[in-house]
Amino acid sequence: MEKDIEVQSNLKIPKSLKEKLKAAAKENHRSMTAEVVARLEKSFKDEQSDALVDDVPPEQMLKIFDIFRQELEEKIKRGEAGKGIPKLSRKLSSSNKDEE
C-alpha cells in the first residue's frame, strides 16, 4: 500500500472551533494538525461502524441488547456503572463471532 503524501490545506473555521481544537490538541499532547487528522479519521471510521450496525439483523440485535443489559446490570450491582452509555465488552464481540 502506498504511503499517503501529506499536502498542505488552508481551512477557514470559526474561531470558537479553533480554540476547541487547540485545547483538545494540548490535552492529547499533539499538534493541532495531528488533532484535526485524528478527529477526521475517527469520523470516517465511525461512519463505517454505523453502516455495519445498520446491516445487523433484528434477531442478532436483540441478542446484543440482552448481553449489553446483563453486563450493565452486573456493573450496577458492583457499583461500577457511571453516567452515559458504557463501552461494550469483549464478551459481546466474541458472541458475535460465534454466530457468524
What is the domain partition of the chain in residue ranges? Answer: 13-55, 56-100
Half-sphere exposure of 42 (CA within 13 A, CB side): 6
Among 37, 45, 44, smallest CA distance to 6 is for 37
Residue-wise pLDDT tens for the chain (100 aa)? 567 888 898 989 999 999 999 999 999 999 999 999 999 998 888 777 666 677 778 888 888 888 888 888 888 888 887 777 766 665 555 444 444 4
pTM: 0.50
Residue 84 confidence (pLDDT): 72
Residue 4 confidence (pLDDT): 81
- Kind and range of the H or E run holding 93: helix 90-99
